[in-house]
Structure 1
């Protein structure tokens, strides 16, 4: 676990879209994303062999974001870091150990 902790050097926020039943204080439907968590992460642009391997699965994957395992993080969410937004395309729970989640993402423009 020490190796994972040392790599988590970026503070990121994970957001989810509002549900249809969620409303603001005036009873109007929410149209802004809802912050799920503010956590430490490792942001790793894919390059070389990793990038080409990811392209075989999903041609748009450009970045891997590693976080500690957290229940409920899924591909309907997105991540923000210093003005950058990353759309989560899929998640990986290595060896199903519930120690970390790898968020395979593409950067939003």
Structure 2
């Protein structure tokens, strides 16, 4: 699962669903960007694709980035303008050095 710095060549946005209040006291619910990172983005293939339990026609990605403690399955990732739901977030080898996100496209 190791990577080199030059493999982290795709900028991704990390978003969280938040609720804010406007000037009239109404609640506004929207996705808000809370961070950006450079990541290694790869499609799931072979055994990884089958192990992820993906259905035919889903676009699935594996996003590897430097460790962030604030990213969870409740968030989403924007890759090249497309939104992806985070299916699973894993701390590789529990070393808090890299974060692996398994994602599927949001239609």
TM-score norm. by structure 2 comes to 0.84
Residues 1-109 of structure 1 correspond to what in structure 2 (within 5 A)? 3-19=3-19, 22-55=20-53, 59=54, 62-109=60-107
What runs of 5+ residues in structure 1 fail to find an aligned partner?
none
- CA distance in 1 between partners of 2:79 and 2:95 (Å): 26
**Pairwise CA RMSD of aligned residues?**
1.9
Instruction: Pick closer, same or farther for the CA change 1:24–1:68 going to 2, 3 Å.
Output: farther
What runs of 5+ residues in structure 2 fail to find an aligned partner?
none
Q: Which has the higher strand share?
A: 2
Q: Which has the higher helix share?
A: 1
- Cα deviation, 1:49-89, whole Å, max 9, x if unaligned, reads 2211222xxx3582111111011200110011222111001
